[in-house]
Amino acid sequence: MMIDSKYRNKNLQVFNNDTVVTEGWYWALQSRELKIGKAKAVRLSGKDLAIFRTESGKVVAMDAYCPHRGAHLAGGTVEGEALRCYYHHWKFNEDGKCVDVPCLKKAPKAEVSTYPTEDHYGLIWVWVGQGQPHELPIVPDLEGHDVDVTFAKPYVKNCHPNIVMSDAIDVQHFRSVHRIPGNILHIEGRKINDNTLRYDNVAAMPTDTVIGRLLAPFYKKQLTYSLCYWGGCAGSVTVGPDFQRYHIIYANRLGDNGVSEGQVILLTKRSKNALGRIYGKALLGATRIVSDYFANGDTPQFDSIKFDFKTPIKDDKTILTFMSHVEGLPVADWGFSKPNKINSVDLSPASKSKETEDEACTIS
Ligand code: FES
Ligand SMILES: [Fe+2]
């Protein structure tokens, strides 16, 4: 049995590492949970935040602990575009600067860090990272369209977000766990940019099985299955026949003790007329069934897996590409993540010698 040690856990610096947080947009809470004039406490990958919606509707995310004596600012009161600490009533504006202390004529120099936020697809997202914020996770098929969204049940999985996300390109498990017949999925990763990796199915529907013959008329060419990774913790999936595609985004963040905390966004194009809206609602219901089907099959292994890639075979190349993509992501200075210790290694399957690649894909 041949093993390519580059992919072993002990040699990975970023992938499946629960002491680092890669740069990216991470979900904080659902938009509907944050009403105008209210503040919420959110723990996001080892960092405590106070997130509030100002009177004008803007969302502000700031470090949770007051620079006076450390009270949690989410216990405070929103005043216009600012947040006032409940303890001694110091007031912080949307840039985190202290602008008022009731017992002083002039506010002292005190401030809390704030972070970029976006209200997008029904979630509040927070930018984690030193660099310029990336594009937010989207469904490429729905780009430029108004969408309706709803959510499947949020989840906590007992493994790293990279492991949860790698499932979506695990070709073997579609056959073994989800009972998708034959070889109807042939996907290969295609780098869109440093943060974005996309997989599309390229295989024509095989017509040598009854199921294949039944499904083939619904697809002009190949069965639609595409997945776009945004960083290593979020991905959008588009699946379904030509006349109706289902769209799902899996948004994960690393929680304490190495768990994944996830939101599942179900999306459909928004119709302009009332009948279309009713159809859209039914579609979102169907999308939920698709999402639950895939989620339920995977639950047992997410709760017990000790990921360690000892023996990749050819069908695992999709996963090696994803691992390589994640290893190349910049690490953020955030929560329990300290970027200076990390030197990413190049795991790209394409960069390896033929001999090594054969070895990596051999079981005997
Ligand atoms: S701890 Fe916040 S004002 Fe004193
Ligand atoms: Fe799965």
Domain architecture of the chain: domains with CATH:
24-128 (2.102.10.10), 140-322 (3.90.380.10)
**Chain length of the chain:** 364
* C-alpha pair distances (Å), 252 with each of 113, 139, 263, 296: 23, 16, 6, 17
Residue 362, pLDDT score: 37
Beta bridge partners of 188: 200
Ligand 2 center from residue 357 Cα (angstroms): 26
Beta bridge partners of 126: 26, 117
pLDDT in tens, the chain (364 residues): 355 677 888 889 999 999 999 999 999 999 999 999 999 999 999 999 999 999 999 999 999 999 999 999 999 999 999 999 999 999 999 999 999 999 999 999 999 999 999 999 999 999 999 989 999 999 999 999 999 999 999 999 999 999 999 999 998 998 889 887 667 778 899 999 999 999 998 777 767 666 666 767 677 777 788 999 999 999 999 988 878 889 999 999 999 999 999 999 999 999 999 999 999 999 999 999 989 888 888 888 999 999 998 888 988 999 999 999 999 999 999 998 887 655 656 665 544 444 344 444 333 2
Asked if 111 and 97 count as a contact pair (C-beta separation under 8 A), the reply is yes
CA distance 214 to 219: 10
Ligand 1 lined by 72 (C-beta under 6 Å): no
CA distance 238 to 272: 22
Count CB neighbours of 10 within 10 A: 6
Ligand 1 lined by 83 (C-beta under 6 Å): no
Ligand 1 lined by 147 (C-beta under 6 Å): no
Ligand nearest to the CA of 168: 2
What is the separation, in whole angstroms, between the first and last Cα of the chain? 5
Ligand 1 center from residue 94 Cα (angstroms): 17
Closest alpha carbon to 294 in 178, 191, 186: 178
The pairing of strands 77-79 and 82-84 is antiparallel
Residue 43, burial from CB neighbour count under 10 angstroms (0-12, 13-18, 19+): middle
Per-residue tokens: 90: 């110091």
Burial call 99-135: b when 16+ CB within 10 Å, e when fewer: eebeeeeebeeebbebbebeebbbbbbbbbbeeebbe
Residue 347, pLDDT score: 63
251: left (phi over 0), alpha (psi -120 to 50) or beta: beta
> Which helix (H) or strand (E) element contains residue 168?
none
Closest alpha carbon to 125 in 278, 231, 209, 277: 231
3-class SS at 317? helix
- Dihedral sign from CA coordinates of 323, 248, 27, 300: negative
Residue 346, pLDDT score: 61
How far is C-alpha 57 from the geometric centre of its chain's CA atoms?
25
Instruction: Give φ, ψ of 205 to 5 degrees.
Output: -65, 120
CA distance 88 to 92: 12
How far is C-alpha 54 from the geometric centre of its chain's CA atoms?
26
* Residues with Cβ within 8 Å of residue 111, at least 6 apart in sequence: 67, 92, 95, 96, 97, 98
Ligand nearest to the CA of 177: 2
Nearest atom (ligand 1) to Cα of 89: 3
Asked if 146 and 270 count as a contact pair (C-beta separation under 8 A), the reply is yes
Ligand 1 lined by 334 (C-beta under 6 Å): no
